[in-house]
Chains A and B, each alone.
Chain A
Amino acid sequence: MNIDLSRRGFLKLAGAGVAATSLGAMGFGKAEAAELAHVRDFKLAQTTETRNTCPYCSVACGIIIYARPDDTGARRVVHIEGDADHPTNRGTLCPKGAALKDFVNAETRLTEPMVRRPGSDRFEPISWDEALDRIARAIKDDRDANFLATNELGVPVNRWTTTGFLAASATTNETAWLTYKVVRSMGIVGFDNQARV
């Protein structure tokens, strides 16, 4: 290509919505234009670039996530690479980080609430409302039935041991703090996270 265009400028011009014939304006002849007409758009042409960190180990490498809208308009991840500005990894990634895209887009991502009824051999869909109502009812009933207000000496102990909560290892601090508030306010003591193991 013998015209003066930055890579990004070229990507903009060549993006979707630009008719193949207009490529002629960029210096391509008819044959090349025909050839290019059935070549797909550059993957990164319409993407947004977002700074993030790798969710696997606690080296916490900087990454750049490239996403673009799918047919429904929802933004989907099309590429992930190391962030060259990040002081720890300086753009590099390990075999796990380099394959992160397939974590986000895994076929086994969960997409709807499900319930497995007692004794059943399958999950079946359940609405968010019904699932959350069932959970709230179960919490209330178990807490009311088993909450220990005082011990045998009459000391207020306000603990609840028949329900437990295992928190994660890769959720944000903000999620963790909200989780902490909710779990503690109920008096749950069977509270733990992945750092234990």
Chain B
Amino acid sequence: MTNSWTDIKNTDLVIVMGGNAAEAHPCGFKWVTEAKHHRGAKLIVVDPRFTRTASVSDYYAPIRPGTDIAFLMGLIRYMIENDRVQWEYVKAFTNASFLVKEEFGWSDGLFTGYDEEKRDYDKSSWDYQIGPDGYMLTDPTLQHPRCVWNLLKAHVDVYTPEMVERITGTPQDRFLKIAEMIGECSSPTKTMTSMYALGWTQHSKGAQNIRGMAMLQLILGNIGVPGGGMNALRGHSNIQGLTDLGLMSNLIPGYLNIPTEKEPDWATYMKSRAFKPLLPGQTSYWQNYPKFMVSFMKSMWGEAAQKDNDWAYHYLPKLDVPAYDMLRMFELMDQGRVNLYFCQGFNPLLALANRNKNTSALSKLKMLVVMDPLETETARFWENHGAYNDVDTASIQTEVIQLPTSCFAEDEGALVNSGRWLQWHWKASDMPGQAKYDTWIMAQIFLRVRELYRKEGGAFPDPILNLTWDYADEHEPSPDELAREMNGRALADVYDLADKTKLLTAAGRQVKSFAELRDDGTTASGCWIYSGSYNEDGNNMARRDNSDPSGMGVYSNWTWSWPLNRRTLYNRASADLQGQPWDPSRPIIAWNGERWEGNDIPDISPTAKPGEVMPFIMNQEGVSRLFSRGMMRDGPFPTHMEPFESPVQNVFNDRMRGNPVARVFASDVEKMGTSDEFPFVATSYRLTEHFHYWTKHNKVNATLQPEFFVEISEQLAAEKGIERGGRVRVWSKRGEVWAKALVTKRIKPMICDGKTVHVVGIPLHWGFVGAAKKGWGPNSLTPFVGDANIETPEFKAFLVNIEPAVGEAVS
């Protein structure tokens, strides 16, 4: 989230698209209710199903799964055509005026530079025109035909209301009503907030869905302002934290990157990370990258990381592919190229696409280690449960070790909520039986492996032998110690860079914030964006002052949020070029003639003059990007792409299947279905009573929504002869499931490109262990393909067939 849950009360209009907050985030959704009742805010819902969020909305429109980009580009077209633009914001705070290279263009659904063979773009034309002084060329009048604004105008021109209806199935009158409601928020004193979740991310072009809305929000002037923003509702309780901490193939904590093979040394690695400003006087805060990176290396390897060994640069692995994400790992596993796999609180058998492939892959491991508080299907993937898990147990040679861990009630530490608040919690009870903390388990594994390397030697033991491990009890690193390590500390006295006589923090003390981190080896910090969370003031994440003097839901003294306890990102953009709030009734920060001050930590240098230093300080441009240069693999503007499995062809290019640059493994191509064989669009979702596969272990929740069902329209039921509550078989190219039919009015057929499209809703919860009745998850059916940029699987739009079935499934 750019903003926070409690900030939603400041909004005038909520659009829920790509999410279902009333059911999936019920207590957060109460802030929408608050805004509706106390501010008179309106709620718009766009969703394939008439969800419970839709049932309390002011306006609802259906949409075919996987066509959000066409809807969003249609909205942008409407705003431009009808002058619903916050002009001062767009001209000053976005790259609308920047000139783009002459060669850049778009035709037949593709941008310039597409290579069909490589399934990739040559992105060299997707960039600005740079002048002789090294800065970009701009046209502040927005008249130049090559300026971003005019290119955007041309790009969205094809998304007329007629085209939006043709692609998305949303009736034109509904689309236009929504466009009109949203257009009102181009006023500097009206704000819209976007609330989205996995309904937007789980597509082969998920990142472009989100960019589409971010661009709309910039055009309306809604980023950085109270009651505005791009608000990813996020899934699990610490998804945000694990992402911040970079527990991914290609990340280092704080959104730094693991090097690639093309960066054989430190100098080469740093060369592409200079982040020089592209306009004079701009902050370009990533210029501090070396300070964060060196401090991370010092945190990891202490004395072994020195300037003359490139801070132990070779202790880090170098990637030969963009990432060994879990889809790639399961593909390699299925090819027999992975021997050992760990699942720490993760149930991939049911959580990853194409379950049959997952079972096959896990069966080829030598050893699977599962750490979990609960039984999981993954730990028992080898166990035969009839139709629910029909495997040949004796033939599976994988050794499985299952280790019992603590759960939330039994441990201490911080979780990061969607609003970036690091909230500390305390241990309430003891673990059952012999269960142990994950930290204890990781320590035991590490200490044993280190001991083996000490005794036996072996492959490149240095990064293991030299890993910083200075905990009071090496077997039981404490949450307190680990939190302090992430915050970071001074290894030598740290002085003010502007005044070398002024001591900021003495050696051995916790740094106050990342402003004190240095690139000369005198500071260590595990995760720079968490710097300030646990400094000499103590554990700021444990603060519990819930006062809110502003009355705007800021809660600055409640726990701590990254970065620097800032509650609204880009909040500098909430004020105009003179530094005064666009909406004086909702002031978040303002320029007092000398400095920025207000209700939140300013997202800019406190003394940076308005009109000179622009608000988007992390960008080299100083402004936000309507045109994203070569930063995304599938285009600098979002363009409509069909899901890989779609009932219709791409209207711009009938040869194009799915996202033209998404990675597809050869073995998965043959597992893609077509609409001849699989005529219906399926989408997955979660129910209010359930939380993924966890509540399956909880008798209360398992009873509240007891049985696996699929949701279909009355029309589809009639067409296929399916009775209300009758048993059905649903199958895709990859597998089949049996379920009860829930025949509802909540899903209705749509007309797309002249064709009737039926949607089948498939809730997730059921498996074969726990307190709930046995059932299947949607992943028995889903395709094994991810988003082109970040590889999140396409769970929200795929093809199935359905027919009535007799009797109960074998159990």
Contact = CB atoms under 8 A, between A and B. Distances in A.
Interface stretch (B147-155, B440-448, B659-667): B440-448
A159 B318 CA distance: 6
A22 interface: no
A103 B699 CA distance: 9
Nearest to B456: A140
A197 B352 contact: yes
B351 to A, nearest CB: 5
A158 B316 contact: yes
A93 interface: yes
B374 A174 contact: no
Interface of A: 48, 50-62, 65, 67, 74-77, 80, 85-89, 92-97, 99-100, 102-104, 106-121, 123, 126, 128, 131-140, 142-144, 146-147, 149, 151, 153, 155-197
Contact of B770 (A55, A108, A157): A108
A189 B324 contact: yes
Nearest to A159: B317
Nearest to A140: B452
Contacts of A146: 339
Q: Label chain A's interface by main secondary structure.
A: mixed
A197 B449 contact: no
Contacts of B6: 87-88
Contacts of B425: 51-53
Contacts of A131: 401, 403
B699 A102 contact: yes
Given A87-B548, A121-B383, A113 B401 contact: yes
B342 A111 contact: no
Given A58-B233, A159-B319, A166-B344, 17 more contacts: A52-B425, A87-B548, A99-B701, A110-B433, A114-B401, A116-B402, A121-B382, A156-B314, A164-B341, A166-B342, A172-B412, A172-B413, A172-B415, A177-B253, A184-B463, A186-B464, A197-B326
B669 interface: no
15 contacts: A52-B408, A61-B27, A119-B395, A123-B400, A132-B444, A134-B367, A135-B445, A162-B338, A163-B338, A166-B343, A173-B416, A173-B486, A176-B238, A182-B446, A186-B449
Given A89-B27, A114-B401, A147 B459 contact: yes
Nearest to B457: A144
A123 B402 contact: yes
A96 B689 contact: yes
Given A103-B407, A156-B314, A166 B430 contact: no
Contacts of B436: 128
Interface in B446-504: 446, 448-449, 451-453, 456, 458-460, 463-464, 467-468, 477, 479, 482-483, 485-486
Contact of B414 (A75, A102, A170, A172): A172
B719 interface: no
B357 to A, nearest CB: 14
B429 A65 contact: yes
B317 A56 contact: no
B731 interface: no
The 9 closest A-B pairs by CB, nearest first: A111-B433, A172-B413, A168-B345, A110-B404, A136-B448, A169-B236, A50-B428, A60-B417, A65-B428
Contact of A104 (B421, B429, B434, B769): B429
Contact of B300 (A153, A155, A181): A181
B190 interface: no
Given A132-B445, A167-B247, A158 B315 contact: yes
A158 B314 contact: yes
B366 A180 contact: no
B337 A161 contact: yes
Contacts of B24: 57
Interface in B369-385: 369, 372-375, 382-384
Contacts of B5: 59, 88
Contacts of A107: 697, 771
Interface in B663-701: 688-691, 694-695, 697-701
Nearest to A103: B698
Contacts of A95: 26, 688-689, 700-701, 704
A79 to B, nearest CB: 11
Contacts of A158: 314-318, 460, 463
B241 A176 contact: yes
Interface in B715-734: none
A57 B236 contact: yes
A110 B459 CA distance: 35
A106 B244 CA distance: 31
A139 B405 contact: no
A82 B567 CA distance: 23
B88 to A, nearest CB: 33
Contacts of A96: 688-691, 695, 701
Given A99-B700, A133-B448, A172-B479, A157 B318 contact: yes
B346 A193 contact: yes
B348 interface: yes
A75 B320 contact: no
B65 to A, nearest CB: 17
B246 interface: yes
A132 B698 CA distance: 30
Contacts of B113: none
Contacts of A77: 409, 428-429
Contacts of B414: 172-174
Contacts of B384: 121
Given A117-B399, A173-B483, A187-B317, A196 B791 contact: yes
A102 B27 contact: no
B228 interface: no
Contact of A56 (B405, B467, B468, B691): B691
B278 interface: no
Contacts of A117: 399
A85 B233 CA distance: 22
Nearest to A186: B464
B236 A194 contact: yes
B541 to A, nearest CB: 9
Contacts of A163: 338-342
B423 interface: yes
B98 to A, nearest CB: 32
Contact of B27 (A94, A114, A165): A94
B445 A108 contact: no
A28 to B, nearest CB: 33
A92 B435 CA distance: 31
B478 to A, nearest CB: 8
Interface string B751-795: 000000000000000000111000000000000000000111101
A115 B402 contact: yes
B438 interface: yes
Given A58-B235, A168-B345, A110 B372 contact: yes
Given A95-B688, A173-B413, A175-B439, A191 B324 contact: yes
B394 interface: yes
A197 B349 CA distance: 12
A101 B461 CA distance: 44
Contacts of A106: 374, 697-698, 770-771
Contacts of A191: 247-249, 324
Contacts of B417: 53, 58-60, 88
B404 A75 contact: no
Contacts of A76: 429-430
Residue in A55, A58, A155, A158 whose Cβ sees the most chain B Cβ within 10 Å: A58
B242 A86 contact: no
Interface string B354-367: 00000000000011
A178 B443 contact: yes
B437 interface: yes
B237 A169 contact: yes
Nearest to A146: B339
Contacts of B558: 87
Given A108-B374, A196-B325, A59 B28 contact: yes
B234 interface: yes
A189 B234 contact: no
